[in-house]
Amino acid sequence: MKQLFYLFIFLSIFSCRTDDEQDGPVIVADASVLILNEGNYNFGNASLSLYNQNDKSIDNKVFQSNNLGRPIGDVVQSAVQIGNELFVVVNNSSKIEVLDASTLKYITSIQQLNSPRYITVASNQKAYVSDLYENKLYIINPSSKRIVKTIETKGWVEEMAIANNKLYLSHVDSNQVWVVDIITDSILKKINVHEQPQFVEIDKDRNAWIACGGGLNGGKSALYQIQTSNDSILSIFEGATVDDKIGELGLNNTKDQLHFLGKDGLYVMNISDNSLPITPKISSVNRLFYGFSIDPETNEIYISDAIDYQQRGVVYRFNYQGIELDAFKVGVIPGDIVFLK
Amino acid sequence: MKIVGSIVLFLMVTNLLAQNTISDTVKINQVTVQGAAQKSNQERLDSTILSDPQHLNLGDLLSKKSHLFIKSYGIGSLATISLRGSGSAHTLLNWNGISLNSSMNGTSDLALFPLFFMDEVSLNYGLSSSIDGTGGIGGSVNISTLPQFKKQLNLFVSSNFGSFGQQQLNAKVKIGNEKFQSITKLIHNKADNNFEYIDLTVEGFPKRQVKNANLLQKGVMQSFFFKLKRNQLVEANFWWFDSERNLPPLIALRENTEFQEDISIKSLVKYSKYFDSSVLKLTGAYIDDELKYVNQRAGIASKAQMKSLRTRADYEFNFKKIELHSQLKFDNNKVTADGLAKEVEQSRLEVYLRARHSITEQFNVNLSVRNFQVLQSESYLLPQLRFDYQIGKSNVKLFALAGKNVKYPNLNDLYYQPSGNISLNAEESESVEFGSTYQMDLIKEKFYVNSSTTLFYNNIENYIQWVPTAFGFWRPNNLKAVETMGAEFFVEVKQPKGKLKKHLSATYSYTSSKNYKKQHEFDESRGKQLIYIPEHKGNISLNLEFMGSAFTINYQMLGIRFISSDNEDLLPSYSLLDVGLSQYVSINRKYLIKVTAGVKNVLNDEYQAIEWRPMPNRNYFVQLAYQFKK
């Protein structure tokens, strides 16, 4: 009763929707896609949208619907599914919300983080969490939901990926890629790259791809290919001009074609190519691409668009050839897209 | 990736925290309720209103007594102005005719302008703000320091205690004669602002207390006024204000030590010479604002220094039957900040000429033109035409005006690293206004009714908005085109004489502020109200005075505010009821002691002015004031 009373207060005093909210919890169907709506920094308006691939329906604010109306927090950055649990990183709320992946109901949360960004899973007992401010990499135990260890990083760490029992992390502040032994958690190597390394993917040949944004001082973007067997740099692809930015990365399900967000849309290249693509696979003319993901089952491409960053954004769905299939409205500033297993 | 730089941006666009100051003027002989004087699209709030301790600060005062919407981030927090549906950088805050808006972000945080420093606050809505310069697309708030040339020694001390650890101490000394006046004001203000709220963002909905919201503010203001000759006045004003504020996090965010200090030193000198049929005024001000920001969690310790020389010369004279007002303004602004690669500088020159001609006794015409020039950059010609008409011998006056205004991008918009956009266009507005005022003596010289009505329309092109990018930084762009229109009503009934003095006033404003530029095929913001601009705002206040006692009641209503540009999400409307009671005792007309007590948010409403920023429930204050007058 007490919770219902507070829910009443919540609805009458705090933010409302102008349209009718769905009553009761949303059922999470098979083949669901979760869109992480970052929301505006310091607005507390982050949300989760659930897209049903079977009937093409969309439920926005699914976290609120399934969790007594409470909001998820400030800036939902990323999420990973570990078994039947979904670990959602809520960046500016300094927490990871752990949800039941089949109901999206709250199980627990991992608090006392600083400004968490991404999770990379080594095993059911070990995952790495990067952080913007903490100067540390957290190691959590996904089973116990506890922080078990930290690694000093002395700076901002963004995306990470694992190959050959090594963690490749993008260390933004030092313009380096750090290589960490995931058995001993010792730092094996620091590889100098262009300014602002942020995104990491591992291709079918176990090579790591790192996208560098070029920094905040007008540097050029660059894409690095690192051979993880010996941690040597195989290739460096530099943007032709300062405006040729290289943003988020993604691979198809056979992991032989690399996609990235650039200034005119979504670009694709074969991992064996010797140069960057010139024209985008999917153009962003009259659109503002913000993030994307490729469905590991179907290879369909989902691209998020924040429009004016103050309204509900949109997600476009394309087939792998880049033909638009449909588009649906989601929450404010849609970023990452997660395919529930 | 997308929040990089947004902390600094957040600071840039939202300086933080408000202080709680109490103005002082306590009338000894008779307390007259003068209140708000309404003259077409202008409004004046005199010391009687400013001195009411019910108004915690300038933002609190203006939200009750004007059509302004104050976007408050909470008690003791940031308060920015929105007027006629425009943005926070579209309202000028002038001090004795000199703009105090930040050259970095164009806004003015009302938290840094204590009421106690002001003898009068006046508002110019819309185009009427352009008498003092460009940029006030919404209008202007003008604060003034005023002398009274008479032989006097006037000491005033007040202390205020309120809920949440609020303590304010104000002192003022006025000394002088018919030729010289000195006014010294001191303020010391501290507050914990640690009120309780229900946290509806976490499991179990616990009660929490606002943390890290305390503030300490100190200030000195010194004004000298010399009458050189009968027709010449020199004034020198000095303003020092140091505000140290901890910044509370959003509801449910991790505790953090976030701190902001603003140190402001303002000096202003003014020379006025009154000829037989003309007036010359020369004003010069040097403003040195320093902002320090520390965010322990983010490991940020940054500093910004803004230095501005702002000058104006006004000459008003008659040419035949035409009243002319000419003005020359020159501003030079320099900024050094961690977000800027080097010191940036911008100089602005404005030339203004206004001609006013009374075609008949009832009908006059104003034509003005202002040329605004950013040195080594663009210039803008801004004409304005105004008609005033009095219907016969009645007390009904009508006015109509139309004109242009411009708001040039701020230094952050242009030069902030890495994303300042030097190709930004200035925001340009075209406006029309119509209005009427009505005055009537219900009982001659005893019982008055005043009212005013204004309708306005404003078209703002190249509306600037900062948006994040997919590459880790924010960037300003001329994203929107905004059309604002609305209506403002004011009515007051007052009986200023007699044993029981009464004053009832009410304001209501309707504001439509909509984007009409579709940027994108899925953009649903076209035709929708801008975020955090209420369509409806109203206020009713009643003041009764009887034999040294005064009772004030104020009821403020604010309509829904949309919080997404597609108007899918909103914050509900709310209303606030405040009451105050005061009693003064006068001894030999020399000494006066006044006690005021009040309750704010009497109905104990839970509300949020900004989403996820808690606001206080019912709270209390008491003020003790002492005055010696010789």
3-state secondary structure B470-534: CCCCEEEEEEEEEEEEEEEEEEEEEECCCCEEEEEEEEEEEEEEEECCCCCCCCCCECEECCCCC
Report pLDDT digits (tens) over A211-244. 999 987 778 999 999 999 999 999 999 998 888 8
Give residues with Cβ within 8 angstroms of B262, minimum separation 6: B15, B109, B112, B241, B242, B243, B245, B289, B290, B291, B292
- Residues of B within 8 A of A98 (CB-CB) are none
Interface contact B465-A332, CB threshold 8 A = no
pLDDT at A81: 97
Return the C-alpha torsion angle B1, B5, B6, B8, nearest 10.
160
pLDDT at residue B21 tops 70:
no
CA B165-B543-B448 angle, to 5 degrees, is 150
CB contact under 8 A, A43 and B2: no
**Residue B608 CB burial class (10 angstroms; 0-12, 13-18, ≥19):** buried
Q: Residue A216 and residue B5: Cβ atoms within 8 Å?
A: yes
pLDDT tens profile B246-300: 988 887 677 778 899 999 999 999 999 999 889 999 999 999 999 999 988 888 8
Q: What is the mean pLDDT of chain B?
A: 87
- Supply A17's token pair: 């929707």
Query: Is B603 near chain A, with CB under 8 Å?
Result: no
First-to-final CA distance of chain A: 35
- The tens digit of pLDDT for each residue in A51-101 reads 999 999 999 989 999 998 889 999 999 999 999 999 999 999 999 999 999
Pick A311's closest partner by Cβ from B472, B564, B570: B564
With a cut of 90, say whether residue A33 has pLDDT above it: yes
Residue B609: per-residue pLDDT:
86
Least confident among A128-137, B349-358, B444-453? B444-453
CB B417 to CB A216 under 8 A? yes
Task: Supply the pLDDT for residue B248.
Answer: 86
Phi first, then psi, for residue B422 (nearest 5°) are -75, -5
Instruction: Find chain B residues with C-beta within 8 A of A173's C-beta.
Output: none
- DSSP helix/strand/coil, B128: helix
pLDDT of residue B205: 79
Cα-based distances in Å from B44 to A81, A278, B232, B542, B622: 61, 62, 25, 18, 27
Residues of B with Cβ-Cβ distance to A75 under 8 angstroms: 3
Q: Which of A38, A310, A314 sits opposite B531 (nearest CB)?
A: A310
The token pair that represents A60 in the structure block: 């926005």
**Which helix (H) or strand (E) is B372 found in, with range?**
strand B363-374
What is the distance between the alpha carbons of residues B139 and B82, in angstroms, rounded to a whole number?
A: 9
Helix (H) / strand (E) containing A10: helix A2-13
Q: Which of B171, B146, B48, B155 is nearest to B629 (CA)?
A: B155
How many C-beta atoms surround the C-beta of residue B447 within 10 A?
16
Spatial separation of the C-alpha atoms in residues B246 and B264, rounded to whole Å: 17
For chain B, the structural domain boundaries read 2-629
Supply the pLDDT for residue A82: 96
pLDDT at B77: 75
Q: What is the ipTM of this complex?
A: 0.86
Which bin fits A218, alpha (ψ -120 to 50), beta or left (φ > 0)? left
B405 φ, ψ (degrees, to nearest 5): -145, 165
The residues, any chain, with a CB within 8 Å of residue B30's CB and separated by 6 or more, are none
Domain B2-629 architecture? Beta Barrel (2.40)
Residue from B203, B208, B471 to probe the interface with A (highest A Cβ count within 10 Å): B471
Q: How many helices (H) and strands (E) does chain A have?
A: 2, 29
> Number of residue pairs across A and B with CB atoms under 8 Å?
181
Contacts B419 to A, Cβ<8 Å = 216
The amino acid at residue A268 is V
Residue B256, both tokens: 């953090």
User: What integer pLDDT is reported at residue B338 of this predicted model?
Assistant: 82
Contacts of A261 in chain B (CB under 8 A): 470
For A233, residues 6+ apart whose C-beta sits below 8 A from its C-beta are: A191, A224, A225, A226, A227
Tell whether B200 is within 8 A of chain A (Cβ).
yes
pLDDT greater than 70 at residue A179: yes
SS3 B554: strand
Which A residues in the span 272-291 are in contact with B, Cβ-Cβ below 8 Å? 286-291
Residue A263, min C-alpha distance to chain B (Å): 9
Chain B nearest C-alpha distance from A113 (Å): 9
Q: How does residue B42 score in pLDDT terms, banded at 50, 70 and 90?
A: confident
The residue whose two tokens read 């405006």 is A243
pLDDT tens-digit map of B561-581:
999 989 999 999 999 999 999
Average pLDDT over residues B412-434: 87
* Residue in chain B lying closest to A246 (CA): B471
Rg (CA), chain A: 20
Beta bridge partners of B184: B173, B222
Is the predicted pLDDT of residue B323 greater than 70, yes or no?
Answer: yes
pLDDT at B352: 97
> Dihedral of CA A216/A220/A221/A224: which sign?
negative
